[in-house]
Amino acid sequence: MHRIETLDEFIIKRQKSHSTATGELTGLLRDIGLAAKIVNREVNKAGLINILGKYQEENASGEQVAKLDIYANERLIDFLKTSGECAGLASEELENYVKFPPRNEKQGKYVVVVDPLDGSSNIDVNVSVGTIFGIYRRLTPDDQEVEERDFLQPGLDLVAAGYVIYGTSTILVYSTGHGVNGFTLDPSIGEFCLSHRDIKIPNEGPYYSVNQGYYLKFDLEMRRYIDYCSDLNLRLRYIGTMVADIHRILFQGGVFLYPNTRKYPKGKLRLLYECNPLAYIVEQAGGKALNVKLDRILEMIPEELHQRSSVIMGSPAMIDEMAEFVQRYAPNIPAESQ
């Protein structure tokens, strides 16, 4: 029997094997792992205590907030504020970014973007939810306070990103730009243990994942592509938690789509907190991630914290095929823009 490898051991080992890596990023990743364990504990007992249901507020994107969203947001802030490595945080749940004061006179080198609880409409009905995070090296000098531009960096500049899925088991998946690895929480020892080494997305797969209820609100090229998926007898799977839908596709192959609709003319999902970190993971695993104009998600320059984007991501051969539909049926997309 081989010995298990915990998330902390793995992170430290990786740091030693990359000469440019510093202990700060290691500490930050460990703190995110710790916050995830605390959120996991609350998600697991959500049915038992008075934590289910809606909170009275709307979040910064104008959506109703479930109580666990607030809880997860607060725990992430608690852990990152005291880590000493993080100078500020931007969250789907906060109108503006928060600045963290220096610790031991040391200002953090990194900023973090988070969707503290993804799939919140699924909490009350015991369906998988997640946490998404991205880490950037700040642009402002380390001895100053963070500014908005520290958070408005393209996904290409992420130094690490990942997600936690609170599902039948709790799994943390992350990358620092050297492949993707997954860690399953062993509740008996309270540790994330390496369970999915060097994850590679299949070149194609049997699933397509889209809210097909909006079919009539999609542009022609998306409708044509969805018709094609249906014609091929691909299996439709849509959980309504992006983390969970992407998790399936990462392991089994397929394509995830959230195009623009009439209600969300730029797409619904948030570039900073959802699209970029998951695009980073998908690309690191060998997949592709574009918007409906066929721009690479990671190259988009964010203009505001809560910017939304359309998104299409998943198995590379399927994304290439989808791009052909867009070029054939969308009026304004030249072939060379792919």
Footprint of Mn ion (CB under 5 A): 92, 115, 117-118
CA distance 250 to 115: 19
Binding mask 113-142 for ligand AHG (x = CB under 6 A): --x--xxx----------------------
314 binds, among ligand AHG, Mn ion, none (CB under 5 to 8 A by kind): none
Q: Does 268 bind ligand AHG (CB under 6 A)?
A: yes
For residues 128 and 119, what is the distance between their CA atoms, to the nearest angstrom?
8
Nearer Cβ to ligand AHG (225/258):
258
Neighbour-count burial of 61, counting CB atoms closer than 10 A to its CB (0-12 exposed, 13-18 middle, 19+ buried):
middle
The residues that bridge with 185 in the sheet, in sequence order, are 192
Tokens 């880490």 — which residue? 135
With CA atoms as reference, report the closest residue to 32 among 109, 106, 133.
133
Q: Which stretch binds ligand AHG (CB under 6 A): 5-13, 33-41, 188-196, 238-246?
A: 238-246
Nearer to ligand AHG, 85 or 92 (CB): 92
Q: Which is nearer to ligand AHG, 240 or 286 (CB)?
A: 240
Query: Which residues are CB-contacts of 187 (< 8 A; sequence separation ≥ 6)?
Result: none
- Is there binding between residue 307 and ligand AHG (CB under 6 A)? no
Handedness of CA 97, 103, 105, 109 (dihedral sign): negative
Task: Pick from 154, 167, 179, 240 the residue near ligand AHG by CB under 6 A.
Answer: 240
**Beta-bridge mates of residue 207:** 235, 254
3-class SS of residue 53 = coil
Task: Give 66 or 319: the residue with its C-beta nearer to ligand AHG.
Answer: 66
Q: Which secondary-structure segment (H or E) carries 218?
A: none
At closest approach, how far in Å is the CB of 267 from ligand AHG? 10
| Interacting span for ligand AHG (CB under 6 A) from 112-120, 153-161, 188-196, 307-315 | 112-120
**Residues at the contact surface with ligand AHG, assessed by CB under 6 A:** 63, 92, 115, 118-120, 211, 240-242, 268
